[in-house]
Amino acid sequence: MCGIVGYIGTKKAVPILLEGLSKLEYRGYDSAGIAVFEDGNISITKDEGRVNHLQDLLNNKPTNANIGIAHTRWATHGKPSEINAHPHADNSKKFSVVHNGIIENYSDIKKFLMDNEYKFLSDTDTEVIPNLISYYYDSTNNLLEAISLACKDFKGSYAIEVICSDCPDRIIVAKKDSPLVIGTSKEGNYIASDIPAVLSHTKDFYLLEDNDIVEVFPSKLNFYNQNLELISRKTEKISWDASSIEKNGFEDFMLKEIYEQPKSIRETIGFKLNKEKIELDNISFTKEFLSNINKIFIIACGTAMHAGLATKLTFENLCKIPVEVDMASEFRYRNPLIDKKTLAIFISQSGETADTIGALKLAKEKGATTIALSNVIGSSITREADIYLYTHAGPEIAVASTKAYTAQVTLLNILALYFAEILEYSDTKLIKELKYELLQLPNKIDDILKNYKEVIPIAKDIYSASDVFFLGRGIDYPVAMEGSLKLKEISYIHSESYAAGELKHGPIALIDNNFPVISIVTDEMLSSKTISNIQEVVSRGAKTIIVTNQDLSKNFDYIIKIPKTHKYLTPILSVIPLQLLAYYISKEKGLDVDKPRNLAKSVTVE
């Protein structure tokens, strides 16, 4: 989704802003723009298209400016176009603004401003921001006050950067429900919606909180609340390495991230299994507290929700507490039954997904104890929840999530084991076995990755298919869902996932010659049943691809063997060939694997 970069300091701003924007390209966008401040004027350059194109436009406008704001836009209100791209100016051209988020009451504000003779050029919600600031500036003649009054009027979410030609020595930023950070260094201050955008310049960051307004000078920051009272904020040292967000010799980020899974699982496990009983930073639940919990919700979106589905069984079996997994966008509007005896776990790689944050706020309001699992330190979801835990997958740049998913399934299994130990689950042998198997996962993933070549002929065989089915039963069904999502998002092939037993209740009508059906068969108790379902599609001419940890007959077109592990952990292994298959199919079709059309890495709008 939209990205923000800003710089003020002693260096030239444009190269820093362009570099930052290109680091944010992975988030998905359709237009880009920059405003710099030079010789008393604000100069805006923007257009539809990629950051490269913006760079070409800027090559014709050399500037030594050392203050600037920049943006990549992912269209919400109004199509991708030069006019709708950010930065947006007010009518007097005194203010220039970039914005992430959505101003939900923008049409009311627009009407009010139009009644006051303001004119609008774009279809965006953002254009009301510089104009409302300008409106308040006319009466207050005070930039900070004008911005604070405007922010009080906005409903919805915003992270904004504002420059004003009357105050050429500063950038003002403000945020609510949309992330914004400020990195500090001797050469100046760096603003960004995401840390990776400016991580090559500094590791010291302020992670802004909702309703913060900050005056950013080259070597000073003034933090205010919305009533313009001075407040203090602390910096955090970010441990990510700038090189961890480069491709390191891989053709694409997605492939690099698939190969990083052994490491990200090792780091997510960390020292958690080292002691006799699991200990987790930030949580100290008691038996009394957990025995009182009568319902666990696991709430997330997309791939993160699949991680929840893949671990429902572990929580239910080890903790004997009913678990409901739901999509955040549905959960938050269905008046779910929640009370003080509810434990609600929210999973979000980015920690900024609007629906997941909305669902978390609702669960908290209704009295649940909330736990957030995120991959991003200090992300909004971790600040909102009662308790947070981190996956340590490192920055995930490719839009299609891979290493975050396997890290989430790993961490959720550890969390279930942690609960089970507190609740004194009787099968201690099983707990021991799961801990042992968790530690074996990285090597087993390495083994699967070594056989990546097995997947390439399958990709070449089926890349031109128009539809694909994914089947699985039990623990394999959420993996079928995840495999199907991976394939559709990066190859644009229509695919659907089914619980294998459901096929004959309708979808089998679609099967005909060469229809690819990809099945996951890992649960010994269920495999004969899944195989019977696969035979039903074989009889109707389907092309069958099976991911399994068992010795199956050769009656199928392709069999991909994976190592065995405990049933609860198989979703971490069985998904790997499906990630690779989606990747190689996308490559076969010549598509942009890392930046699939219409998608954004961090979905900060509902």
Q: Binding residues for ligand F6R, per CB under 6 A?
A: 301-304, 348-350, 353, 356, 400-401, 485, 489, 602-603
- Residue 281: count of CB within 10 angstroms of its CB: 12
- Residue 539: count of CB within 10 angstroms of its CB: 9
Q: Is 384 helix (H, G, I), strand (E, B) or coil?
A: helix
User: d(Cα 572, Cα 405) in Å, to the nearest integer?
Assistant: 8
Instruction: Give the β-pairing of 95-100 and 88-89.
Output: antiparallel
DSSP run (H or E) holding 42: strand 41-48
The nearest distance, CB 327 to ligand F6R, in angstroms, is 10
Query: Do residues 138 and 120 lie in contact, with contact meaning Cβ atoms separated by under 8 Å?
Result: no
Looking at residue 156, the DSSP 8-state letter turns out to be B
The nearest distance, CB 389 to ligand F6R, in angstroms, is 14
- Please classify residue 141 by burial: count the beta carbons closer than 10 Å to its beta carbon, then call 0-12 exposed, 13-18 middle and 19+ buried: exposed
The nearest distance, CB 379 to ligand F6R, in angstroms, is 9
Nearer of residues 135 and 405 to ligand F6R, judged by Cβ = 405
Q: Which of 117, 128, 169, 172 is nearest to 150 (CA)?
A: 128
Give the list of residues 6+ apart from residue 334 with CB closer than 8 angstroms, or none: none
User: d(Cα 55, Cα 45) in Å, to the nearest integer?
Assistant: 10
- Ramachandran bin of 544, using left for φ above 0, alpha for ψ from -120 to 50, beta for the remaining angles: beta
The nearest distance, CB 346 to ligand F6R, in angstroms, is 9
User: d(Cα 33, Cα 43) in Å, to the nearest integer?
Assistant: 11
- Ramachandran bin of 35, using left for φ above 0, alpha for ψ from -120 to 50, beta for the remaining angles: beta
The nearest distance, CB 166 to ligand F6R, in angstroms, is 39
Residues across the chain = 606
Nearer of residues 342 and 579 to ligand F6R, judged by Cβ = 579
Nearer of residues 95 and 405 to ligand F6R, judged by Cβ = 405
Give the list of residues 6+ apart from residue 297 with CB closer than 8 angstroms, or none: 323, 324, 325, 326, 331, 336, 338, 342, 343, 344, 345, 363, 368
- Residue 577: asked if its preceding bond is cis (omega within 30°), the reply is no
Q: 2 catalytic, yes or no?
A: yes
Nearest residue to ligand F6R on Cβ basis: 302
User: d(Cα 116, Cα 7) in Å, to the nearest integer?
Assistant: 33
The nearest distance, CB 384 to ligand F6R, in angstroms, is 13
Nearer of residues 295 and 488 to ligand F6R, judged by Cβ = 488
Give the list of residues 6+ apart from residue 28 with CB closer than 8 angstroms, or none: 1, 74, 399, 595, 596, 598, 599, 600, 601
Nearer of residues 586 and 602 to ligand F6R, judged by Cβ = 602
The nearest distance, CB 302 to ligand F6R, in angstroms, is 2
Nearer of residues 70 and 301 to ligand F6R, judged by Cβ = 301
Sign for the pseudo-dihedral over CA of 391, 439, 322, 326 = positive
Residue 103 bridge partners (DSSP)? 156
Helix 476-491 vs helix 302-309: crossing angle, to nearest 10: 170
Nearer of residues 387 and 487 to ligand F6R, judged by Cβ = 487
User: d(Cα 578, Cα 491) in Å, to the nearest integer?
Assistant: 13
The nearest distance, CB 309 to ligand F6R, in angstroms, is 12
Nearer of residues 559 and 585 to ligand F6R, judged by Cβ = 585
Cα 205 to its chain centre, rounded Å, is: 20
Query: Do residues 78 and 106 lie in contact, with contact meaning Cβ atoms separated by under 8 Å?
Result: no
Q: 167 catalytic, yes or no?
A: no
Cα end-to-end distance, the chain, whole Å: 12
Q: Is 606 helix (H, G, I), strand (E, B) or coil?
A: coil
Nearer of residues 22 and 348 to ligand F6R, judged by Cβ = 348
The nearest distance, CB 600 to ligand F6R, in angstroms, is 8
Nearer of residues 350 and 410 to ligand F6R, judged by Cβ = 350
The nearest distance, CB 165 to ligand F6R, in angstroms, is 37
The nearest distance, CB 349 to ligand F6R, in angstroms, is 3
Q: Which of 2, 151, 164, 319 is catalytic?
A: 2
Nearer of residues 406 and 533 to ligand F6R, judged by Cβ = 406
DSSP run (H or E) holding 268: helix 261-269
Q: Which of 435, 486, 595, 601 is catalytic?
A: 601
User: d(Cα 323, Cα 325) in Å, to the nearest integer?
Assistant: 7
Instruction: Point out the residues that are catalytic.
Output: 2, 601
